[in-house]
């Protein structure tokens, strides 16, 4: 049944989604970078708008000119000049992590400046009132304005990119910037593209904030879910993106008229409120590939500088075990409040180690670890409530997450396109999986309502529970050691460095990917179960998909191929959050991720390089140590000839 009145309401939602999708596509078409930080830019601009109007008392028009005319384009110009221009030779992996760093950095700023508070009084930029249509229908003025803006932006971009000299120059810059720089102002074109894309992000955030309440994580995720529209357009067609956004917006409101049996109403409501994330997930499942300029597995790009050879010892074995043991037991001597905060460290470290397995060792980027961790916590709590002994439930819950990881890995290599589903495409797939789990599982009372999480007798004391967490962390590190050594470690290294070369060497890429995702999902599930048990509650915000992006950026900063770095990074993240105000950790992680393109390998690689430099005897040239016996003989004859 089609209801015209509901369809008109859906146009308003579709228009804002279309603006967001057009902004993503415009940035990608002009710069060649898929801007995952788009949602964070939108949220930051929405908060600035709220600050100008609600706190400083500016008129809405003046605030709109300031935010959309100065702040939003200024963010794009600053990012292009300070972040993306220096990284234009970093490859797809460096640029992808840089966009994640920008996202985390801006969310950190939001938390630092506004405390992450949610607001329901975001100012509306659009006029009130409506137009009367035949059949007693009313079309709001706001919807008319949004439709005109979307149509104008899409039409202008289509004409400029396809039928003008400027569009030809833009395509030349995206295809080969160094070559095009000799003929066209490449830097200016890229700066204009980033400024325009940030303007559209700010516009989408300002328009969407009054519809959805102003919240850092929720609004960011809402904007990011519109990536499904860009995916449907294969990152190439602006008209398809606009049409798809409008159709999804109309479909979302039409679902409000569906009233099935009461037992199914909750499911229909979930579809109604989360149609965009469903489209994102379904599009990634169906489309075999996108119009993505992808450089391959991201893990290799992140760790290439300072990387270890596949046959080198496991990083865990290189760690001064005495120092690690001493640091790990120190919280047992903390006061009760500090010990309670320290309970989060081993649990988060297990989740971080799962990222090392998936991305650092196998090169398969995963932005969905928050979803796996939340499922592990949920399954553990359900099993314990059902009468399963708690210690058994602690490990059985994560085992039930393994099939979810297996499914993700199987999807990434489905239909024989393993060489193509990697990098950005794989990142979007794993993020969409986490978003679907968050919206359809963690946000549904039928699954989490009335859920109780407890610790069994013997582990109610924080000291004993912390000891159990350390034991679980040791088990996770032992698994990492097993995966990093021997033939399996060499196969994972080949998969990380080059999937094509791994296939040529006889590695079963499909089976290896599925195995890696299953292991990583199980480890993340264990970390999530420990997190919920430490807090003695299941909190869906702890497993928000945007939180998973922060975790990935943190692991990348500390060294995505270092299990030790993952443990230290988890401890540092918890310590900064506990010892400072909210937002500082996001700023530090964001800055580190942005700089990762200039200093590949993260902090772990920097420490290894520093250790190698310190181990070099003073005054002894490194080059002489690397000469073979024949080379030394030649060098001796050359010196003798010069002295003679």
Which CATH number covers residue 340?
1.10.3470
Confirm whether 481 is domain-assigned. Answer: yes
Q: Enumerate the β-bridge partners of residue 119.
A: 214
Q: Are 36 and 430 in contact (CB under 8 A)?
A: no
Residues 349 and 483 in one domain: yes
Assign 56 a pLDDT band (cuts: 50, 70, 90). very high
Regarding whether 332 and 268 lie in a shared domain, the answer is: no
288, 294, 298, 302: CA torsion to nearest 10: -170
Q: Which two tokens stand for residue 613?
A: 């430099």
Residues 103 and 13: their CA atoms lie apart, in Å, by 24
Looking at residues 303-332, what average pLDDT do you find? 56
Mean pLDDT of 22-30: 82
Question: How many other CB atoms are there within 10 angstroms of residue 292's CB atom?
Answer: 18
Among 258, 286, 314, the domain-final residue is 286
**Which stretches of 244-322 are assigned E, i.e. beta strand?**
none
Q: Which tokens go with 233?
A: 């357009």
Is residue 601 pLDDT above 80, yes or no?
A: no
380 and 469 together in one domain = yes
Same domain for 409 and 374? yes
Judged by average pLDDT, the poorest of 179-188, 222-231, 322-331 is: 179-188
Determine, yes or no, domain membership for 427: yes
Residue 214: φ, ψ to 5°: -80, 105
Residue 127 lies in a domain: no
State the DSSP code for 122: P
For residue 39, the tally of other CB atoms under 10 A from its CB is 30
pLDDT averaged over every residue in the chain = 81
Q: What's the pTM?
A: 0.85
Same domain, 325 and 276: no
User: CB 597: neighbour CB atoms within 10 A?
Assistant: 24
Q: Give tens-digit pLDDT for 546-596.
A: 999 999 999 989 888 888 889 989 999 999 988 888 789 888 999 888 887
Using DSSP's 3-state secondary structure scheme, residue 319 falls into coil
Backbone φ, ψ for residue 450 (5° rounding):
70, 15
Q: Is the pLDDT of residue 268 over 50?
A: yes
Is residue 9 situated within a structural domain? Answer: yes
Supply 92's token pair.
Answer: 């797809």
- 608 near 618, Cβ under 8 Å? no
- The reply to whether 279 and 405 lie within a common domain is no
Alpha-carbon distance 91 to 293, whole Å? 10
- Domain hosting 613: range is 608-643
Which two tokens mark 107?
């969310």
Task: State the residue for tokens 């905060």.
Answer: 341
- What does the block give as tokens for 542? 């702890």
**Same structural domain for residues 270 and 317?**
no
Shared domain check, 420 and 360: yes
Apex CA 112: angle with CA 106 and CA 117, to 5°? 95
d(CA 495, CA 499): 5
622, pLDDT greater than 80 = no
Instruction: Identify the weakest region by mean pLDDT among 2-16, 76-90, 560-574, 606-620.
Output: 606-620
**Domain closes at, from 233, 262, 286:** 286
Please state, for a pLDDT cut of 70, what percent of the chain lies above it. Answer: 81
- pLDDT at residue number 309: 42
User: Residue 156: inside a domain, yes or no?
Assistant: yes
Q: Are residues 326 and 459 in the same domain?
A: yes
3-class DSSP state for residue 132?
strand
Number of structural domains (the chain) is: 3
Verify that 626 and 595 share a domain, yes or no: no
Asked if 599 and 614 sit in the same domain, the reply is no
Q: Of 286, 310, 336, which residue is a domain's last? A: 286
Q: Are 392 and 518 in a shared domain?
A: yes
Tokens of 521: 């999902």
The H helix count followed by the E strand count for the chain is 33, 2
Extract the tokens encoding 288: 């075999």
3-state secondary structure of 468: helix
Q: Do the domain assignments include residue 230?
A: yes
In this structure, is residue 45 part of a structural domain?
Answer: yes
Q: Is residue 223 part of a domain?
A: yes
- Of 434, 552, 431, the C-alpha closest to 100 is 552
């Amino acid at each position: 049944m089609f209801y015209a009145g509901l369809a008109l309401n859906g146009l308003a939602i579709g228009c804002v989604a279309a603006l967001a999708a057009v902004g993503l596509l415009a940035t990608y078409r002009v710069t060649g970078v898929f801007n995952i930080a788009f949602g964070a830019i939108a949220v930051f601009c929405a908060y600035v708008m709220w600050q100008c109007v609600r706190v400083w008392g500016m008129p809405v028009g003046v605030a709109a000119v300031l935010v959309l005319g100065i702040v939003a384009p200024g963010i794009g110009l600053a990012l292009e000049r300070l972040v993306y221009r220096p990284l234009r030779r970093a490859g797809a992996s460096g640029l992808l992590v840089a966009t994640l760093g920008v996202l985390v950095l801006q969310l950190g700023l939001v938390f630092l400046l506004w405390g992450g508070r949610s607001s329901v009084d975001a100012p509306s930029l659009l006029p009130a009132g409506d137009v009367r249509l035949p059949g007693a229908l009313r079309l709001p003025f706001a919807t008319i304005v949004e439709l005109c803006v979307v149509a104008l932006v899409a039409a202008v971009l289509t004409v400029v990119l396809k039928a003008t000299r400027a569009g030809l120059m833009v395509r030349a810059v995206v295809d080969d910037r160094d070559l095009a720089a000799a003929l066209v102002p490449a830097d200016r074109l890229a700066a204009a593209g980033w400024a325009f894309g940030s303007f559209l992000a700010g516009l989408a955030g300002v328009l969407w904030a009054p519809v959805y309440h102003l919240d850092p994580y929720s609004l960011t995720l809402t904007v990011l879910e519109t990536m499904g529209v860009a995916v449907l357009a294969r990152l190439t067609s602006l008209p398809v993106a606009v049409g798809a956004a409008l159709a999804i917006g109309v479909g979302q409101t039409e679902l409000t008229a569906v009233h099935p049996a009461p037992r199914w109403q909750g499911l229909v409501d979930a579809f109604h409120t989360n149609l965009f994330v469903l489209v994102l997930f379904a599009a990634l499942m169906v489309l075999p590939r996108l119009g993505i300029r992808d450089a391959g597995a991201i893990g290799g790009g992140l760790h290439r500088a300072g990387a270890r050879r596949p046959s080198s010892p496991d990083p865990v074995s290189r760690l001064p075990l005495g120092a690690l043991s001493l640091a790990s037991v120190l919280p047992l001597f903390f006061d009760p409040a500090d010990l309670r905060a320290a309970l989060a460290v081993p649990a988060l470290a297990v989740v971080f180690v799962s990222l090392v397995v998936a991305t650092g060792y196998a090169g398969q980027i995963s932005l969905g670890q928050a979803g796996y961790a939340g499922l592990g916590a949920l399954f553990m709590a359900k099993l314990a409530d059902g009468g399963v002994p708690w210690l058994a439930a602690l490990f059985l819950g994560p085992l039930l997450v393994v099939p979810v990881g297996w499914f993700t890995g199987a999807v990434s290599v489905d239909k024989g396109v393993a060489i193509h589903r990697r990098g950005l495409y794989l990142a979007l797939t794993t993020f969409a999986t986490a978003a679907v789990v968050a919206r359809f599982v963690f946000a549904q009372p039928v699954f989490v309502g009335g859920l109780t999480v407890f610790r069994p007798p013997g582990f109610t004391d924080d000291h004993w529970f912390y000891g159990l967490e350390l034991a679980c962390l040791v088990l996770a590190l032992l698994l990492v050691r097993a995966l990093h050594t021997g033939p399996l470690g060499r196969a994972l290294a080949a998969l990380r460095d080059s999937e094509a070369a791994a296939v040529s060497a006889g590695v079963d890429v499909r089976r290896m990917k599925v195995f890696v995702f299953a292991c990583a999902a199980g480890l993340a599930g264990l970390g999530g179960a420990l997190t919920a048990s430490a807090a003695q509650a299941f909190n869906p915000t702890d497993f928000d998909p945007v939180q998973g992006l922060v975790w990935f950026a943190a692991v990348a900063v500390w060294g995505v191929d270092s299990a030790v770095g993952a443990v230290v990074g988890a401890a540092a993240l918890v310590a900064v959050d506990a010892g400072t105000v909210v937002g500082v950790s996001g700023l530090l992680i964001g800055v580190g991720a942005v700089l990762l393109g200039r200093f590949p390998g993260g902090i772990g690689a920097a420490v290894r390089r520093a250790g190698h430099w310190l181990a070099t005897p003073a005054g002894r040239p490194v080059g002489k140590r690397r000469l073979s016996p024949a080379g030394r003989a030649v060098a001796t004859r050359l010196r003798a000839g010069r002295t003679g």
